[in-house]
């Protein structure tokens, strides 16, 4: 997996901890302390999708049921 320097954007090898271009220490991925922080947006997106999808699914089921009746 390629990763990029957060300071200068240089592509770094997976085992590189320091950017060879600018010397900035590269933040390692999959750090347990930052796991939730890194995935915070994904969790928010999932919650938003659930909030949108659940009423939509209910409306769809009710619509199907009302169509069957009539
Ligand atoms: Zn750099």
Q: What is the pTM of this model?
A: 0.36
Ligand 1 ion: nearby residues, β-carbon < 5 Å: 5, 7-8, 10, 19, 21-22, 24
Name residue 11's beta-bridge partners. 4
Q: Give the mean model confidence (pLDDT) for residues 8-23.
A: 89
Place of tokens 């999932």: 46
Express each pLDDT in 18-64 by its tens digit: 899 999 988 665 555 555 566 677 888 999 999 999 999 999 999 99
Q: Say if residues 26 and 6 touch (Cβ distance below 8 Å).
A: yes
- Cα(43) to centroid of ligand 1, in Å? 29
d(CA 24, CA 5): 8
Place of tokens 């750090």: 31
Q: Give the mean model confidence (pLDDT) for residues 2-21.
A: 88
State the pLDDT at residue 17: 86
Q: Say if residues 17 and 26 touch (Cβ distance below 8 Å).
A: yes
């Amino acid at each position: 997996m390629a990763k990029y320097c957060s300071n200068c954007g240089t592509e770094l090898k997976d085992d590189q901890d320091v950017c060879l271009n600018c010397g900035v220490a590269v933040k390692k991925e999959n750090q347990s302390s930052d796991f939730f922080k890194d995935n915070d947006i994904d969790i928010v997106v999932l919650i938003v999708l659930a909030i949108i999808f659940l009423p939509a699914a209910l409306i769809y089921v009710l619509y199907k049921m009302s169509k069957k009746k009539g």
